[in-house]
Structures are given as C-alpha cells and as structure tokens.
C-alpha cells in the first residue's frame, strides 16, 4: 500500500477545469504509465478488500485498465461495465448521475455466472453514481458484490454513502483526498 500511495502522490497530474469549469481532475495516467506505479496500484487494489472474489468488474473507461490488471494479478476474469451503446449482446442498463453530468452504464448479464462474487474496480470514487450503478447492475445480473476498490476517493463528494446504499460490501480506497 505504501508504494502505491507514494506513486500516486508523486505521479498524479492535477488538472483544473477539466472536463468542465470548476472540476479539479486528478489524472492518474502518469501513474499507470510508470511500471512501478502500475504494479503498486494493481497490488494495492488486489488486496484492498479482504472478502474473496472470483470475478473483477472494471468501469468504463479508466476502470478497464485497472480492472484487467487486477484480474490478471489475482487469477480472475474481468467484466466490462460500459457506457450505453457499446456492448454488442443483450444488455441490462442503469442511468446514473455524476460530478459533471449524467450517464448510463450497461452490462452483459450473460457474462456473469450465477452467484459470482465480484470485485468492482475503478480509478476514482467521486459522487458514487458510477460505482453505485455498477453494483446495482451486477446484483440485478445475479452477482454478489465482494467489494468496491478504487484508487482515489474524493471524500467531500460523499460517494461512499451512495455506494453503500447500493451494496453492503466494503468500499475501499487506496487514498482519500
């Protein structure tokens, strides 16, 4: 955990007014581009939740990078929970709101084995709309949520409560701002 926090502190790029005025965007792409940073963050996310899991779900789009890395690292498969209109098969979907807009997430329920224990992985927990919608979709598809693991939690935006309203599973952040 220490090396992940150090990599995040040293390499995260802070961009003001992105993607819209007033939003302070914390860009972790430099952390992921660094081999040590990627490994440290992947390891930290992989052990963030103590509950066992047998499948990882990555949230569109930066959560795909992290989710796939965690899945390989832990010997699991990975699900893509995608923004509307991107998945080819039969989907279930859920509308959500977030810090700078609204959206809709979709999932292939046929890719979720009945009762699968799923670790939800994303880069940032902000208002929690994205992660809460993802948990709701997974539960609707017959999965159980093992936990939600994110790189960064923006505490002032209160997302944790919103996710905890969608699932009883633990919500863990590598670093909180």
- Positions marked catalytic: 62, 99
Report which of 163, 139, 137 is spatially closest to residue 150, judged by C-alpha positions: 163
Smallest distance from ligand PRP to CB 127, Å = 3
Q: Is 136 in the site for ligand PRP (CB under 6 A)?
A: no
Report which of 109, 57, 107, 119 is spatially closest to residue 82, judged by C-alpha positions: 107
Smallest distance from ligand PRP to CB 115, Å = 26
Is the Cβ of residue 72 or residue 98 nearer to ligand PRP in the bound state? 98
Q: Is 62 in the site for ligand PRP (CB under 6 A)?
A: yes
Q: Is 128 in the site for ligand PRP (CB under 6 A)?
A: yes
**Helices (runs of H) and strands (runs of E) counted in the chain:** 6, 9
Could you give the C-alpha distances from 29 to 43, 57, 109, 153, in angstroms and in order? 17, 19, 30, 16
Among 130, 136, 138, 151, binds ligand PRP (CB under 6 A): 130
Q: How many CA atoms lie within 13 A of 31 on its CB side?
A: 27
Could you give the C-alpha distances from 18 to 14, 23, 47, 127, 176, in angstroms and in order? 10, 6, 31, 16, 20
Smallest distance from ligand PRP to CB 114, Å = 26
Give the DSSP letter string of 112-152: S-TT-EEEEEEEEESSSHHHHHHHHHHHHTT-EEEEEEEEE
Among 60, 65, 74, 118, binds ligand PRP (CB under 6 A): 60
Is the Cβ of residue 27 or residue 52 nearer to ligand PRP in the bound state? 27
Scanning residues 88 to 127, which ones bind ligand PRP (CB under 6 A)?
Answer: 98-99, 122-127
Is the Cβ of residue 74 or residue 127 nearer to ligand PRP in the bound state? 127
Is the Cβ of residue 5 or residue 98 nearer to ligand PRP in the bound state? 98
Q: What is the DSSP letter of 85?
A: T
Smallest distance from ligand PRP to CB 154, Å = 8
Give residues in contact with ligand PRP (CB under 6 A): 59-63, 98-99, 122-131, 159
């Amino acid at each position: 955990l220490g090396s992940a926090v150090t990599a995040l502190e040293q390499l995260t790029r802070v961009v003001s007014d992105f993607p819209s005025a007033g939003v302070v965007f914390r860009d972790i792409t430099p952390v992921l581009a660094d081999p040590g940073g990627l490994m440290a963050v992947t390891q930290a996310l992989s052990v963030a939740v103590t509950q066992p899991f047998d499948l990882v779900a990555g949230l569109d789009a930066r959560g795909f990078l992290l989710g796939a890395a965690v899945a390989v690292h832990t010997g699991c498969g990975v699900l893509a929970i995608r923004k509307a209109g991107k998945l080819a098969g039969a989907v279930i979907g859920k509308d959500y709101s977030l810090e700078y807009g609204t959206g809709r997430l979709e999932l292939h329920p046929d890719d979720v084995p009945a009762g699968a224990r799923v670790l939800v992985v994303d880069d940032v927990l902000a208002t929690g709309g994205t992660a809460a919608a993802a948990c709701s979709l997974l539960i609707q598809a017959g999965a159980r949520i093992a936990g939600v693991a994110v790189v960064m939690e923006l505490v002032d935006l209160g997302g944790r409560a919103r996710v905890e309203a969608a699932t009883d599973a633990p919500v863990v952040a590598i670093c909180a701002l």
